[in-house]
């Protein structure tokens, strides 16, 4: 999957538990074909999907192909030869699968594309994924709020006052060959474009379009290198829009090394008094060796610092946003090392696809998002879109992490 969705150990625990509690198969077989392996992120997702399907009485065949395109094509041929009721497939390569998805091989099997759409095939019946364009819009909105762009626009920033008054940011996108990455970036740009047009926001690198902003294979190292080059050139970056938590983490390390502080969750509205080192007071107990001094209860937030850095830390702040299907981003928001992220719960996607298989087997049309279809090059595929979740405050993160 483009985004890691959980530890392999979690998948092993889930799978071990299922052995003792799932009924003997009584329904038609279902094949699940994923990239990756049973020990990685895909394995964790497959474990949830297998649990749901096995509980419905299906004989579930789960196979992983790693990054092996021919290997997955062979798996698909073998799965179809078993005449399954449904095949749930996340393609290693979105276009290669079409060579096997021919009417004579598919037969009566329902083909459900999982998270990534199978392209150029008329045999794809349904597609289940998250509303990636909506996720991009959420990320853009969190970016705007944390940077205070509406307040700046209201104060006349960017209106004929010269480029030097614009807020400088860098925009990062996922891999250029990833349709989902393009949807997310375009969603974010829908939100940011008015601020770019008015001059409130500027991208000094000139990487505004998807092709320019795209990072090959969504490499965190490449993302960090771009930001490093801008900082080395003396660009006063106020924000970095990253599409994944992995990129955001790498960027966070770079900006921290440059003396910047990542803006706290919630934009400038949140502030927490931090310990302020000082000489021992004669009016109270001395600090205990090895423990941090108590918070300075009399400290006040710096009204001129919209980035919400700790009071007493006058380092310039920078907004950094992420996204994905791991809980690492939520943990980073809770820790104050990431301004905001957008979470896409992989367990919800697995359960949703299991329910779609259930409806297919029952002879009914699976529930899809009203009016939602996705063009795969051969047909408009009925699509189920799941809502992502914005994590932009510590309260958001705490509610998710439990």
Same domain, yes or no, for 198 and 326? Answer: yes
Q: Dihedrals φ, ψ of 201, to 5°?
A: -115, 140
pLDDT of 326 over the 80 cut? yes
Q: For a pLDDT cut of 70, what percent of the chain falls above it?
A: 79
Question: Averaged over 64-82, what is the pLDDT?
Answer: 97
Same domain, yes or no, for 243 and 330? Answer: yes
**Domain range spanning residue 236?**
132-271+296-343
Indicate whether 383 belongs to any domain. no
What CATH number does residue 47 fall under?
Answer: 3.40.50.2300
Other CB atoms within a 10 A radius of the CB of residue 398 amount to 13
CA distance 74 to 89: 13
Question: Averaged over 309-336, what is the pLDDT?
Answer: 83
pLDDT tens for each residue of 206-215: 999 999 999 9
Same domain, yes or no, for 82 and 179? Answer: no
Same domain, yes or no, for 90 and 196? Answer: no
Same domain, yes or no, for 158 and 191? Answer: yes
Confidence (pLDDT) at 23: 58
Same domain, yes or no, for 43 and 90? Answer: yes
Where is the domain boundary, 90, 124, 158?
A: 124
Same domain, yes or no, for 182 and 318? Answer: yes
| pLDDT bracket for residue 152 (50, 70, 90) | confident
Confidence (pLDDT) at 246: 96
Confidence (pLDDT) at 313: 53
Where is the domain boundary, 124, 151, 175?
A: 124
Same domain, yes or no, for 180 and 87? Answer: no
User: What is the DSSP secondary-structure string of 158-207?
Assistant: TSSS-GGGSEEEEE-B--TT-HHHHHHHHHHHHHHHHHHHHTSEE-TT--
Question: Averaged over 158-179, what is the pLDDT?
Answer: 81
pLDDT tens for each residue of 95-144: 999 999 999 999 999 999 999 999 999 999 999 999 999 999 999 999 99
Looking at the 3D structure of the chain, how many domains does it have? Answer: 2
Same domain, yes or no, for 38 and 101? Answer: yes
Same domain, yes or no, for 162 and 114? Answer: no
CA distance 205 to 225: 13
């Amino acid at each position: 999957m483009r985004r890691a969705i959980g530890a392999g150990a979690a998948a092993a625990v889930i799978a071990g538990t299922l052995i003792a509690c799932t009924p003997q198969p009584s329904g038609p077989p279902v094949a699940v074909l994923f990239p990756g392996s049973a020990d990685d992120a895909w394995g964790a997702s497959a474990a949830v999907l297998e649990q749901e399907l096995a509980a419905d009485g299906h004989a579930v065949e789960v196979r992983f192909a790693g990054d092996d395109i021919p290997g997955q094509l062979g798996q698909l041929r073998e799965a179809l030869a078993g005449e399954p009721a449904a095949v749930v497939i996340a393609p290693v390569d979105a276009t290669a699968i079409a060579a096997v998805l021919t009417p004579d091989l598919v037969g009566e099997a329902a083909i459900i594309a999982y998270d990534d759409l199978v392209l150029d095939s008329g045999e794809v019946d349904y597609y289940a994924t998250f509303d990636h364009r909506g996720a991009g819009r959420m990320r853009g909105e969190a970016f705007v709020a944390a940077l205070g762009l509406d307040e700046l626009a209201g104060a006349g920033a960017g209106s004929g006052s010269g480029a030097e008054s614009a807020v400088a940011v860098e925009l990062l996108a996922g891999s250029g060959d990833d349709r989902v990455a393009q949807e997310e970036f375009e969603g974010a740009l829908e939100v940011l474009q008015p601020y770019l047009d008015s001059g409130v926001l500027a991208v000094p690198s000139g990487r505004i379009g998807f092709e320019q902003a795209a990072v090959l294979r969504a490499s965190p190292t490449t993302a960090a290198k771009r930001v490093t080059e801008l900082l080395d050139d003396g660009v006063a970056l106020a924000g970095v829009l990253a599409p994944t938590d992995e990129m955001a983490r790498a960027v966070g390390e770079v900006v921290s090394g440059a003396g910047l502080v990542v803006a706290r969750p919630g934009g400038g509205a949140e502030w927490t008094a931090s310990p302020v080192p000082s000489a021992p007071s004669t009016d109270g107990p001395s600090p205990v060796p090895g423990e941090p001094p108590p918070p300075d209860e009399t400290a006040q937030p710096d009204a001129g610092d919209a980035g919400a850095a700790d009071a007493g830390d006058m380092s310039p702040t920078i907004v950094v946003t992420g996204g994905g299907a791991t809980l690492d981003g939520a943990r980073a928001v809770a820790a104050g090392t990431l301004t905001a992220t957008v979470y896409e719960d992989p367990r919800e996607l697995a359960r949703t696809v299991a329910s779609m298989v259930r409806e297919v087997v029952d002879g009914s049309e699976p529930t899809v998002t009203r009016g939602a279809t996705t063009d795969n090059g051969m047909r408009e595929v009925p699509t189920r879109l799941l809502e992502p979740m914005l994590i932009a405050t510590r309260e958001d993160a705490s509610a998710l992490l439990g």
